[in-house]
Structure 1
Amino acid sequence: MANSGVEKPKKFNAKVNILLLVLVVLITVAPLLLLKNAEFNGADGLAEEEIMKIQADYEPWFSPLFEPASGEIESLLFALQAALGAGLLGFGLGYLKGRSKK
């Protein structure tokens, strides 16, 4: 019974975790440093510009229910939405993993 078919999970060491963290920071900061005068526009604004180029008399089907006062508030709400979604997903996966270990 040397090999029962159950593998022990591999442990990540601190060096790998630090390397991954440095890579994440580098990927995040590199565009800001390399592209000094670049405009980082959202996909919605770019899509609207392209639609107007194709058909100038286009009218949207509906308007937003809530229009944030500034771009910073819009970014904050987007970040909160992403954090809430990630938290719920993490909770759900953790719950399922814990339930399967019982």
Structure 2
Amino acid sequence: MTAKSNALLLGMAALIVAAPLILNPAAQFGGTDDAASEVVTASNPDYRKWTEPFWAPTKEIEATLFALQAAFGAGILGYVLGRMHGRRDK
């Protein structure tokens, strides 16, 4: 790959990442858990949760666990892709 194609790919990646923020800067990015809770409450206002979490981590621990999960998944993906690439080279 040439430097020109690398710069083009980097620019396209930056545009993909920045486009949602530029097009709708006031958007609220919530999780699926929040969206599901809102749907359940709207469809059945009398619904009561019948379970409770046994542990509620702090935001810092929650973010750390999420980062560890992402790193673990990236490691597995990298390993599998590396093995496939090595197999192809044989």
**Fold equivalence (TM over 0.5):** yes
Where do 5+ consecutive residues of structure 1 fail to align?
1-11
Pair 1:14-2:36 in alignment: no
CA apart distance, 1:41: 0.8
* 3-state SS in 1 of match to 2:33: helix
Q: For each residue in 1:68-87, what CA deviation from the matched residue of structure 2 results, as whole angstroms up to 9, or x when unmatched? A: 312x6534432332232022
The TM-score, its normalising length taken from structure 2, stands at 0.72
Where do 5+ consecutive residues of structure 2 fail to align?
none
> In proportion to residue count, which structure has more helix?
2
Provide the rounded CA distance (Å) in 1 between the counterparts of 2:74 and 2:9.
19
Higher RCO (Cα < 8 Å, 6 or more apart) = 2
Aligned residues: 90
Provide the rounded CA distance (Å) in 2 between the counterparts of 1:66 and 1:24.
38
Letter in 1 for 2:28: E
Give the superposed CA RMSD. 2.4
Provide the rounded CA distance (Å) in 1 between the counterparts of 2:26 and 2:72.
32
Q: For each residue in 1:30-62, what CA deviation from the matched residue of structure 2 results, as whole angstroms up to 9, or x when unmatched? A: 222332322111111111111110112334464
The TM-score, its normalising length taken from structure 1, stands at 0.66
Match 2:35 to one of 26, 40, 46:
46
Identity %: 48
Provide the rounded CA distance (Å) in 1 between the counterparts of 2:81 and 2:64.
26
Residue in 2 that maps onto 1:58: 47
Check 1:73–1:21 CA distance in 2 against 1; reply closer, same or farther (3 A cut): farther
